[in-house]
Amino acid sequence: MDVRLLLENTLPGLGYELVDCELAPGGSMRVFIDKPGGITVEDCVTVSNHLTRLFMVEDVDYERLEVSSPGLDRPLKKEADFVRFVGQLAKIKTRLPIEQQKKFMGRLAGFEEGNVKLEVEGRIVDIPFANIDKARLEPEF
């Protein structure tokens, strides 16, 4: 059973987006959800109760389920994330260097032809989506 696929097919019907999921050592399953306007404790309870029943029916093996928001430093995993958060400050780490560096911080400026556009110090850096190792929003206060 592909748990990620199960979550990707289930959560949108409940009004939520799957940001990430991970199976931690000891059997804890962590599910990070989001929706426009943010996540409340009630959202986490609703999703947790639904997934507990779903996992029982689908015979998904886990010890403890944790459902939460992705936080202010939300990971950016999908191409759509880089479009949704245009204008936001982000940190991106690449697998291979671009212009002799692997770590970038700047404002998301869009996504075109497989490249994330990041405004860094007044110029646009094109970062191939396939070259991204990690990407997160950088909270601004």
pLDDT at 28: 92
Q: What digits encode the pLDDT tens for the residues 23-52?
A: 888 889 999 999 988 999 999 999 999 999
Q: Are 33 and 66 within 8 A, CB to CB?
A: no
pLDDT band at 1 (very low <50, low <70, confident <90, very high): low
**Any residues with CB less than 8 A from the CB of 53 and at least 6 apart, and which?**
none
Per-residue pLDDT at 25: 83
* Structural domains of the chain, with CATH: 3-68 (3.30.300.70), 79-137 (2.30.30.180)
Distance (Å, whole) CA 52 – CA 34: 18
For residue 103, the cross-strand partners are: 93
- 108-136: pLDDT as tens digits: 999 999 999 999 999 999 999 999 999 99
Helix, strand, coil content of the chain in percent (nearest 5): 30, 45, 30
25 SS3 class:
coil
Q: What is the pTM of this model?
A: 0.83
Q: How high is the pLDDT of residue 26?
A: 84
pLDDT in tens, 82-113: 999 999 999 999 999 999 999 999 999 999 99
